[in-house]
Chain A
Amino acid sequence: MSSHALTVVTPIQPDKVKDLDTLLSEIGEDISNRTGRHISFARLTTVHFLRWVILPGDNDGGRHYRPQLAFESNYDGPLDAHLEELIRVGGPVLARIYGYCAGCPSDVAGSVASFKRFLKRYQLRSAAFYRGYPNHSVQDVMENTRARRAIQDFLDDPERRATLRDMQPERLCQEIQKYLATVPGLKLERDPEPRPSRLDRFVERLMDSRPVQLAVGIPVVLLLLPVLVPTALVLRWKESRDEVEPKTKDLVDPRVEGQEDYKVQNQLTHLVEVHPGLFRQLTLRTVLGGINFLARHYYNRGNLGGIPSIHFARWVLIDKGRRLLFFSNYDGSWERYLGDFIDQAAVGLTGVWSNTRGYPKTRLLFGQGATNEEDFKQWTRDHQLYTQVWYSAHPDESVRNILQNVAVCAQLKSQLKSQEAAQWLLKL
């Protein structure tokens, strides 16, 4: 089963923004629904991550934008089943949230079908979508975690320690497997990983091999030369006119910083205006299309251009392409995340965000920009939004943990020979 992205952006009734903020903030602060008055997210079986964010009205200078509510979920399986579950579990609270939005039919609480129709009407496609572990459902992730914990319990039991200490790796693996078979309800069979498609394999060869790159790249560039040269000239001219935003704010919105830098997982919502004009739309959509393609066919094993800590991320163009919304669910600190962006993926990021306002000075779309370390961080901060509700189904697992657990669990039923066994034991 593979995971998908749902984005729904609905206009909020202008006089209801405050009420909605209050309601969502309450939900966000009670994410495990201790009060019983909100949503029991843990009952959702299809969701890895979800969030609600209010996109405030007119926060971006020149143009007027009305206030909107953005929802994202990273879900497994078919969309209809996901929406139905969401409506079932969210129930009246969901109806209250969307009751503050314009155009919400008054009977939503009563009719699953009309609620679904409403949400789908405001659904937006991701311009680019990245998944750290596309083939592992929420249930897989949780099952794997249970198996791993069971192994730890077995190994760490002080009663057993002395006998395990002198075993050969092969024997120890067998003992672990024997023990796991006795743990009630533990699923030991894993679904096999789907084989990479032919396109995936082709892209992989292309990305990893110089000769193939040259063989494909040179003819393509030659063919495109009549387009590339004028594009480059226009870009240089446009970039020379891009204005760098002066530092306007003193301290960053304390609500944004206050919800960051928690122990394991964190989130980021970022919204910025795209430079006006057809040309920038074209370059932006091309670059995002490229990233989306690579994310689907190459960066699909816990690594987005060298960044190992992203669970799910997406770019969505909203307001008819005038603004670019970015959602990310990542591991670790903000400093580390932004640092990884700059250190590992500056080219890709600059390719995207150089088409937006206030971005640090760029050269030919992909150059400089994010490598202006301190400016890039400042710019990111200035465009971050406070996320009212954020839920993770497996908040204690890093991407690396999830993938390591997959590797551990893949061999739960195999007979491991000495070297293999020793290698497997190192993962525990």
Chain B
Amino acid sequence: MAAQIVTSGAQTAAAVPGEALEFEDIQGLVFFGHGHLKYSRYVFLRVKDGAGARAWLRTLVERKEVTTASGKQHPGHGEARGEHALQVAFTASGLEHLGVSPEVMITFLQEFREGMRDRRRARILGDTGGSAPEKWQFGGTDETVPHVALVLFGRDDADLDVFHASHRERYQDALEEVFIQDADMRQGDKEPFGFRDGISFPYIKGVPTTRTSDALGLPIDAGEFILGYHNAYGQYPFSPRVPRGEDPRDLLPEVPRGQTAPGEPRPKDLGRNGTYLVIRKLRQDVKGFWKFVEESSRDPDRSAEENEANKELLAAKLMGRWKSGAPLVLCPMKDDPKLGGDATSNNHFEFGDDPYGTKCPLSSHVRRANPRDTLVEDPEESTKLVSRHLIIRRGRPYHDKLAGGEEEQGLMFVALNTNIGRQFEFIQQTWMNNPKFNDLYDSKDPIAGDNYDPQYPEDDPKDYTAVVPGFPVRQRISGVPRFVHMRGGDYFFMPGIKALRYLGAERAR
């Protein structure tokens, strides 16, 4: 199938009339996962010397090493894609260490300023028990909080090592490495449980895409994913800003008109073309997941084949798609690998004719992560409301070698959004961890929810169920254990290029 470039609306490429996206100022990760570069490395750094760190940033920008969304890397120009890609983002304490003033810091989102490890936040995200911040590998305590996330992409491990070494040489005097995480797609699109991932993406207004029009869905306002543009409410998202006087060299654009109090000199927009990056290292208990699925579906009276089929079916019921990626609503009884792999049709579905979840359970991961037309009764209203709770996902699987030949597997989960509370946190808290979602009683997301952790037996396992509607009556499995565990992470601000230049500028502090 020839890839075709589609742009929303009348080829205007504008988020708001007269406001075209400034691709050359936006970091590339917003628009592409750099899928042609199968290996990636997250280098988490702490600032030792602020002035040195700023100098390093300046060089990155001057040499145009930060991958942007413009020119060569644009989807339509696939043949000229870069050999490497590099993105850079900062935590709140990172920005402070770069000398950003308190007046500016307070204009960032509260979620970002408090960080992922904040106690209340950990509670709503389900980062408790074995997933509690103090147990994380990074980001969980003041000592392990990273300042900078440098994300490197390369063709293979060796290539990545060389790429990393060339950068390390330049930053090591000013920044120290606190944690390094590799994540890769050597197993193609499969995440560790064995399902195809990376299928469903929000379709952003004004962004060219290679997908065909019927696989696109509703176009979403760019301001949901990039600061400085109108969001799904038709408003500018809260964007960090700098008082005019703190940008003497005029490196930043002004905040949009109408965003200032009358009489106040118009501040500068530090957020424009930037976004917030959510990074979570999620360990997947692959053995535990398949053991649970097998035990919950086995029937001693049936043949081995039937049991095998039932196992695959139950796993699909928990995920909402078959391993191949084929959506359950389209093929509820049996996997259809051809459909699963067909990018023109594997995301072309809704839940409207399955109100009780007899095909795709109300509690499945895919239906919770995006309820599409069934969030409220009216399907059109539903689609509109859901469009206010979407994220762009850029996660990749990881495989950590452990002592004794064991391997830890999981997902280096990465999400981009402009309002962390309304987008990422909302999905995790209100849709995945909420036992009452979709009129359920006591079911959380069986894949990504904070289900029962036997190592931290605080409450009754009976309160954690998975409900699979069926004939004559549902199967209700209780004692669903937690399969996904938090290992570390934080919220980052991923600035536009102009903002990077501002952050790297020489200043007194």
Closest-CB distance, A396 to chain B (whole angstroms): 8
**Residues of A close to B164: CB separation below 8 A:** none
Please tell me if the beta carbons of A426 and B356 are within 8 angstroms of each other in the complex: yes
| B residues 411-459 in Cβ contact with A at 8 Å | 419, 421-422, 425-426, 429-430, 434-436, 439, 441
A35-50 interface code vs B (CB 8 A; 1 in, 0 out) = 0000000000000000
Q: Does chain A have a CB within 8 A of B201?
A: no
Please tell me if the beta carbons of A400 and B430 are within 8 angstroms of each other in the complex: no
B470-483 interface code vs A (CB 8 A; 1 in, 0 out) = 00111010100000
Residue from the list A162, A257, A332, A344 in contact with B120, Cβ < 8 A? A257
B279-321 interface code vs A (CB 8 A; 1 in, 0 out) = 0000000000000000000000100000000000000000000
Please tell me if the beta carbons of A261 and B429 are within 8 angstroms of each other in the complex: yes
In the docked arrangement, what's the CA distance between A96 and B3, Å? 75
**Residues of B close to A374: CB separation below 8 A:** 235, 237-238, 419
**Residues of A close to B476: CB separation below 8 A:** 152, 155-156
A159-175 interface code vs B (CB 8 A; 1 in, 0 out) = 00010110111001000
In the docked arrangement, what's the CA distance between A172 and B470, Å? 13
Please tell me if the beta carbons of B426 and A425 are within 8 angstroms of each other in the complex: no
Residue of B nearest to A404 (CB): B439
Q: Does chain B have a CB within 8 A of A32?
A: no
In the docked arrangement, what's the CA distance between A250 and B104, Å? 12
**Residues of A close to B478: CB separation below 8 A:** 156
In the docked arrangement, what's the CA distance between A29 and B58, Å? 52
Residue of A nearest to B474 (CB): A428
Q: Does chain A have a CB within 8 A of B181?
A: no
In the docked arrangement, what's the CA distance between A332 and B419, Å? 19
In the docked arrangement, what's the CA distance between A258 and B476, Å? 33
**Residues of B close to A162: CB separation below 8 A:** 301
Q: Does chain A have a CB within 8 A of B233?
A: yes
**Residues of A close to B235: CB separation below 8 A:** 372-374
| A residues 234-286 in Cβ contact with B at 8 Å | 244, 246, 250-252, 254, 257-258, 261, 263-264
Please tell me if the beta carbons of A167 and B472 are within 8 angstroms of each other in the complex: yes
Q: Does chain A have a CB within 8 A of B403?
A: no
In the docked arrangement, what's the CA distance between A333 and B472, Å? 34
Q: Does chain B have a CB within 8 A of A306?
A: yes
Residues A169 and B436 in contact in the complex (CB < 8 Å), given A252-B110, A335-B430, A374-B237 = no
Q: Is the interface of B mostly helix, strand, loop or mixed?
A: loop
Please tell me if the beta carbons of B473 and A168 are within 8 angstroms of each other in the complex: no
A-B contact count (CB 8 A): 86
Q: Does chain A have a CB within 8 A of B376?
A: yes
Closest-CB distance, B349 to chain A (whole angstroms): 21
In the docked arrangement, what's the CA distance between A400 and B113, Å? 35
| B residues 91-145 in Cβ contact with A at 8 Å | 106, 110, 113-114, 120, 123-124
In the docked arrangement, what's the CA distance between A404 and B467, Å? 16
Residue from the list A152, A168, A261, A401 in contact with B123, Cβ < 8 A? A261
Q: Does chain A have a CB within 8 A of B158?
A: no
Residues A261 and B441 in contact in the complex (CB < 8 Å), given A343-B385, A422-B472 = no
Please tell me if the beta carbons of A333 and B124 are within 8 angstroms of each other in the complex: yes
Q: Does chain A have a CB within 8 A of B81?
A: no
In the docked arrangement, what's the CA distance between A372 and B435, Å? 30
Closest-CB distance, B31 to chain A (whole angstroms): 24
| B residues 137-166 in Cβ contact with A at 8 Å | none
B19-31 interface code vs A (CB 8 A; 1 in, 0 out) = 0000000000000
Please tell me if the beta carbons of A335 and B441 are within 8 angstroms of each other in the complex: no
Please tell me if the beta carbons of A339 and B233 are within 8 angstroms of each other in the complex: no
**Residues of A close to B419: CB separation below 8 A:** 374
A373-412 interface code vs B (CB 8 A; 1 in, 0 out) = 1100000000000000000000000101100100000000
**Residues of B close to A258: CB separation below 8 A:** 120
**Residues of B close to A422: CB separation below 8 A:** 472
Please tell me if the beta carbons of A333 and B436 are within 8 angstroms of each other in the complex: no
In the docked arrangement, what's the CA distance between A162 and B298, Å? 12
**Residues of B close to A336: CB separation below 8 A:** 426, 430
Taking A343-B388, A374-B235 as given, write out 9 further A-B residue pairs in contact, using a Cβ cutoff of 8 Å, ordered by the A residue number: A152-B476, A263-B435, A264-B436, A333-B124, A336-B430, A372-B233, A373-B235, A374-B419, A426-B469
* B binding-site residues for A, Cβ under 8 Å: 106, 110, 113-114, 120, 123-124, 231, 233, 235, 237-238, 261, 301, 356, 376, 385, 388, 419, 421-422, 425-426, 429-430, 434-436, 439, 441, 469, 472-474, 476, 478
Q: Which 7 A-B pairs have the closest CB atoms?
A: A398-B436, A336-B430, A373-B233, A400-B439, A425-B473, A333-B430, A169-B472
A-B contact pairs, 5 of them (CB 8 A): A162-B301, A172-B473, A254-B120, A425-B472, A426-B356
